[in-house]
Amino acid sequence: MTRVLSVASEAFPLVKTGGLADVVGALPAALAEHGVETTTLLPAYPSLAEVATGAKVVHRWRDLLGAEARLLAGTIAGHPLLMLDAPLLFARIGGLYDHADDWRRFAALGRAAADLASGVVKGRHFDILHAHDWQAAMGPAYLRYAPGPGPRARTVMTVHNIAFQGRFDAAVFAELGLPALAWAVDGVEYYGGVGFLKAGLEAADAITTVSPTYAAEIRDGRFGMGLEGLINVRRAVVSGIVNGIDPAIWNPQTDSALPRRYAATTLAGRAVNKRAVEKKFALDPGDGPIFTVISRLTWQKGMDVLAECLDDLVALGGRLALLGSGDAALEQAFLAAAARHPGRIGVTIGYDEPLSHLLQGGADAILIPSRFEPCGLTQLYGLAYGCVPVVARTGGLADTVIDANEAALAAGVATGFQLGEVGYNSLSHAIRRAIDAYADPAIWAAVQQNGMRADFSWRQSGRRYADLYASLEGQS
Ligand code: ADP
Ligand code: GLC
C-alpha cells in the first residue's frame, strides 16, 4: 500500500475555482483502485468550516511562517483529509488567491506538507508527496532544503497550468526559513525574485503535466512562460498524464441536475434538457444548434476571439448559451452581444455548478477555443454528455478530441471539431463546420455517440500515477 499526501489549494466538492479542484477531488478514488491511499491536504478556508468543526486536532505549530496553526483530520468523499487551520492565513473574505501575503499563506501550506512528509507530525508517514501547482510547490522545496527528522517522502510536482507560477519579491526569501544555499539558480531564485513553482520543479523527483501534448508544448518558449529552459533541463523526469472525469459526478445517466437523464442510446431525451436551456437563457425555441461556453472568461480561453465570431455564429443559424465570469471587458463584450442578439445569445455572468451540468446535458456543442489548455475538463464532460466539443488543437484538447474530418468520419471515430491557430477565421470556420454537421442528423448523432462511448474514466491515468509512484519508491 503506497501512502500519498496530495497537496493542493482546491478540491471538489469542498472548494473549487477551476479544473484543479475536480482533479484533486477525483484522485483519491482513482488511485484507490491501484492500491494507493491518498490523503488530501488543503488549507482550512471558511468554506471547509462544516468538515473542520469538531474535527480531531492531529498537530499544532506555534509558529508556521509566523502564524499559529493546527492540523485537523477529516474526510473528503470518504477519503482521508487533512486541513491546515491557520485563521491568520486562510480565514479571509474574498477570493482564494490574490492576497498580498499569498507567499506566506502558501509557503505555510508547503511547510506543513514537508513536515508531514518527513516525520515532524507524529503518527503520520507518507511514501510520496504529490504537490499540485504553485500553491503546493514549496512542499518539495522544503523537503529538499529543510526536511524534518524522519525519512523523507519522494516527490511529484504536477503542473496544471504553467502560466500561474507564484512569483514574489526577493525580499520574502529571508522569511521562508530556508538555508542560504536555497537562494540559487537551481533553487528558489527566479529572475531575481522568488519562484514557488520554479522551486518545486527544481526539487521534485518527478514532474508531470496534465496531458502529453502540454508536456511537449511547455518545452517551447511559446508555452513555457519562462520555465521552458528548466523543463528542458529536467525533461528526463517530465511526463504528461491526461486527466479523467469522475463518473460519480459527471454521468448523464445519473445526473440529478438534468431534467431528463439519458444515455448514448436514448439521445432523444436531450431535447427536454435543450428546452430547459432555452428557457434559462431566454433563447428563442428552435431546432437549430445551441452552442455553449462554460469557462473562465480570459485570454487563455480565447474568449476575445469568440466574442468577435458571435455575429457570424448567429448569422449561420446558431444560438449561444454562455456561463462564465472573468475579465470585465470580456464580460461586457458578451453582455453586449446578448443585447445585440436577443433570443439568439443568452449570457449568465457568474459561477453555477448545477447550471454547468444542465448546459452539458442540453446544449448541442461546447466551444473551447483556448490559446493554451494544459488538459481542459469541459471538453471531457462534453464528450460524456453528447455536447460535441469544438476545440483548439492544443494541450489536452488535442489529446482528447478527434476532429470530424473526412477520414475520421469514414472510420467512425470522430468526436468533435478542432481548429488550428486560434483566430477569427479559424474559429468562424470551425463553427461553420459544426453547424453544417449538425444539419445532417446521422453524422451528428454518430459524432455524439463516438464521444459518449470513449473512455475518459480515471482507470488508465490512475494506473499511470500509481506506476509513477511505484517507480519513485523503487529508487529510494
Ligand atoms: P480551468 O481549470 O483552466 O478553468 P478546466 O476545463 O480544467 O479549466 O476546468 C474548469 C472547471 O470549472 C470545469 O469543471 C467547469 O465545468 C468549471 N467551470 C468553469 N466556469 C464555470 C462557471 N462559470 N460555472 C460553473 N462551473 C464552471
Ligand atoms: C488547469 C488547466 C486546465 C486543466 C486543469 C486541471 O486549471 O488550465 O487545462 O484541465 O488545471 O488539471
> Dihedral angle at the C-alpha atoms of 94, 95, 100, 101, nearest 10 degrees?
110
CA 417 to ligand 2 centroid distance, Å? 20
CA 268 to ligand 1 centroid distance, Å? 27
Which is nearest to 372 in space by CA: 195, 160, 208?
Answer: 160
In whole angstroms, what separates CA 397 from the centre of its chain?
13
- Candidates 3.40.50.2000, 3.40.50.2300, 3.30.230.10, 1.10.3720.10; correct CATH number of 267-453? 3.40.50.2000
Res 152: pLDDT: 97
* Cis amide bond preceding 179, omega within 30: no
Residue with cell 477531488: 25
Q: What is the side-by-side strand order in the sheet with 319-326?
A: 345-349, 319-326, 290-297, 365-368, 388-392, 417-419
pLDDT values of the chain reduced to their tens digit, one per residue, 476 residues: 999 999 999 999 999 999 999 999 999 999 999 999 999 999 999 999 999 999 999 999 999 999 999 999 999 999 999 999 999 999 998 899 999 999 999 999 999 999 999 999 999 999 999 999 999 999 999 999 999 999 999 999 999 999 999 999 999 999 999 999 999 999 999 999 999 999 999 999 999 999 999 999 999 999 999 999 999 999 999 999 999 999 899 999 999 999 999 999 999 999 999 999 999 999 999 989 999 999 999 999 999 999 999 999 999 999 999 999 999 999 999 999 999 999 999 999 999 999 999 999 999 999 999 999 999 999 999 999 999 999 999 999 999 999 999 999 999 999 999 999 999 999 999 999 999 999 999 999 999 999 999 999 999 999 999 999 999 998 76
Residue nearest to atom 11 of ligand 2 (CA): 160
CA dist., res. 119 & res. 5, Å (int): 13
As a three-state string, the secondary structure of 435-469 is HHHHCCHHHHHHHHHHHHHCCCCCHHHHHHHHHHH
- Asked if 416 and 404 count as a contact pair (C-beta separation under 8 A), the reply is yes
Q: Indicate the top mutation candidate among 161, 164, 456 to test ligand 2's pocket, ranked by most ligand atoms within 8 A of CB.
A: 161
Instruction: Kindly state if the Cβ of 164 falls inside 6 Å of ligand 1.
Output: no
Q: Is the dihedral of CA 392, 408, 380, 289 positive or negative?
A: positive
Q: Is the dihedral of CA 103, 105, 106, 108 positive or negative?
A: positive
In whole angstroms, what separates CA 47 from the centre of its chain?
19
CA 211 to ligand 1 centroid distance, Å? 17
Res 278: pLDDT: 98
Residues with CB under 6 A from ligand 2: 18-20, 23, 160-161, 210, 243, 373-377, 396
**Residues 272-280: contacts with CB under 8 Å, at least 24 apart:** 272/362, 273/358, 273/361, 273/362, 274/362, 274/363, 274/364, 275/362, 276/358, 276/362, 277/321, 277/358, 277/359, 277/362, 277/363, 280/321, 280/346, 280/348, 280/355, 280/358
Residue nearest to atom 5 of ligand 2 (CA): 19
**Count of CB atoms within 10 A of residue 162's CB?**
23
Closest ligand 2 atom to Cα of 243: 12
Phi then psi for 361, rounded to 5 degrees?
-90, -10
CA 21 to ligand 1 centroid distance, Å? 9
Instruction: List every span in the chain annotated with CATH 3.40.50.2000.
Output: 2-244+459-475, 267-453
| DSSP code for 268 | G
| DSSP code for 283 | P
Phi then psi for 39, rounded to 5 degrees?
-105, 125
CA dist., res. 51 & res. 20, Å (int): 20
**Count of CB atoms within 10 A of residue 471's CB?**
12
Environment class of residue 465 by beta-carbon count within 10 Å: exposed (0-12), middle (13-18) or buried (19+)?
buried
Res 473: pLDDT: 94
CA atoms within 13 A on the CB side of 272: 10
Would you call 197 helix, strand, or coil by DSSP?
helix
- Beta-carbon contacts of 46 under 8 Å, excluding residues fewer than 6 positions away, are 90, 91, 92
Instruction: Kindly state if the Cβ of 466 falls inside 6 Å of ligand 1.
Output: no
DSSP characters for 63-131?
A: EETTEEEEEEEEEETTEEEEEEE-HHHH--SS-SS--TTHHHHHHHHHHHHHHHTTT-STT---SEEEE
Domain 2-244+459-475 matching CATH 1.10.287.130: the answer reads no
Res 476: pLDDT: 61
In whole angstroms, what separates CA 307 from the centre of its chain?
23
Closest ligand 2 atom to Cα of 214: 9
Ligand closest to CA 296? 1
Instruction: Kindly state if the Cβ of 166 falls inside 6 Å of ligand 1.
Output: no
DSSP characters for 382-443?
A: HHHHT-EEEEESSHHHHHH--B--HHHHHHT---BEEESS-SHHHHHHHHHHHHHHHTSHHH
CA dist., res. 86 & res. 109, Å (int): 10
Instruction: Kindly state if the Cβ of 296 falls inside 6 Å of ligand 1.
Output: yes
Which is nearest to 52 in space by CA: 76, 28, 29?
Answer: 76
Instruction: Kindly state if the Cβ of 295 falls inside 6 Å of ligand 1.
Output: yes
- Beta-carbon contacts of 204 under 8 Å, excluding residues fewer than 6 positions away, are 131, 140, 155, 156, 157, 237
